[in-house]
Amino acid sequence: MRGSQRTVLALTLTVSVHALAADVSVYSNTLVGGRPDVVDGQVKTVVPLYQLVGVRAKNIELRGFDDLGVAVDAWGGLTLPNSPSGVAAGDVNLAFIEGRAFKKRLKLRLGRQFVVGGVARAMFFDGLSAEYKSQMGLGLSAFTGIPVDRRFSNFIAGDFVVGTRAFFAPTMTTEVGASFIHMLQRGQMSRQDAGLDGRWTPIRSLTIAGAFIWSIADMRMAEFDIGPRWMPSDNFEVSANYRRTAPDLFLPRNSIFTVFADTSRDDAGGSVMWQPKKWLNLFADARVLWLNGQPGFDASGRVQLRPFRSPLTTLTAQYRRLQVPSSNGFHQARLAARHVLPSGFGLAVDLETYALDQPVRGQTLSFAMSATATYTISKQWFIGATLFAATTPTFESRYEAVAKLTWLFPNEGHL
């Protein structure tokens, strides 16, 4: 485990122990699987074991803070039978302390965390973030630390990230912001972007949102996205948007994969969601694509039924057609069904097939199916099992079984 992770975990435990009172929730997920795999040159049945644990504590009473909380999410895994070198892994997904002060207008967070919004897009990092919002709606946020991947991340000298965003949010539905990020990997510039983002609700049923990101390091546009969403009623929604991206700028500038990435991608289209009856939901999405100036399209549709007018039973049918320039397009079809009995026992079946435009290893069709059974023992205990089978052009067949056990800490008071 990285040194920064050990430090954050120690801090979270210290705060939890010395807190006067806290509302605590704990969960534990145990996953056990089984599938054929190649081990030491032979096909054997391997059994991956995964343990996921999480702790949330809020309303911790500590002088100087209006509110204080702790969050930890971690996992560990082991595959049996092990090779001579061992097949084990584990990491900390989240581990941070969050405090609010000055009538909760100032928010501070220390540790491994996830930042979204503005030019930060979505990233994990180890470090400190802060946000302040005034009564007038003016605000400023900033973060700094070490960028990390969600799994198997190790500190490398020269890794660093700093970012900030200024915003004005006079109402809950209207906001405009300007942001900046500077990131280094191994001491070399990985990203340096500036951007604008905003959303505006001129009337209750209409929202217009947009974002613009400019790569300062490459002196060209990295992303532009704009479009309205109209929702005249609770059961009908229409949205449209145009988006232009530079896929190679989504990768670090020092990554070798930028050589293989497209330099421009445009898509324009929209979607419609309509629920004419409580037991019927319809959705359609269609857009035109341009990759490096070459046209293509992506269209999909979904029908969802609740035959007994109850959320306990759901039938779903989906279809998608994708045709991408200089790539293999496909037709996709999916059928799914789910039913939950009042006793807490549930069943789900999922069937999916792809038909490729161009054959791979002489085949164009692939099939996959899964069957899942679940049982809610109580408010704290949940079990489930899934059987999965597939045949695709990339391999003749695949079989896998997974069992899941979930436990939730019965929070009946304060810690």
Show Cβ contacts of residue 137 under 8 Å, excluding neighbours closer than 6 positions. Answer: 168, 169, 170, 171
User: pLDDT tens for residues 213-264?
Assistant: 999 988 999 999 999 999 999 999 999 999 999 888 877 766 766 666 777 8
* Distance from C-alpha of 34 to C-alpha of 160, rounded to nearest angstrom: 40
In a domain, 114, yes or no: no
Q: How many domains does the chain have?
A: 1
User: pLDDT tens for residues 165-213?
Assistant: 999 999 888 999 999 999 998 778 888 999 999 999 999 999 999 999 9
In a domain, 65, yes or no: yes
* Distance from C-alpha of 19 to C-alpha of 229, rounded to nearest angstrom: 45
Count the neighbouring beta carbons within 10 Å of the beta carbon of residue 101: 15
- Interval 359-373 mean pLDDT: 92
In a domain, 39, yes or no: yes
In a domain, 225, yes or no: no
pLDDT given at position 412: 47
In a domain, 4, yes or no: yes
pLDDT given at position 248: 83
User: pLDDT tens for residues 17-37?
Assistant: 554 456 888 889 999 988 887
Write out the residue range of the structural domain in which residue 83 sits. Answer: 1-104
pTM tops 0.85, yes or no: no
In a domain, 291, yes or no: no
CA-to-CA dists, residue 410 to 75, 287, 376, 380, 413, angstroms: 21, 47, 15, 7, 9
In a domain, 12, yes or no: yes
Residues 199 and 187: beta-carbon distance below 8 Å:
no
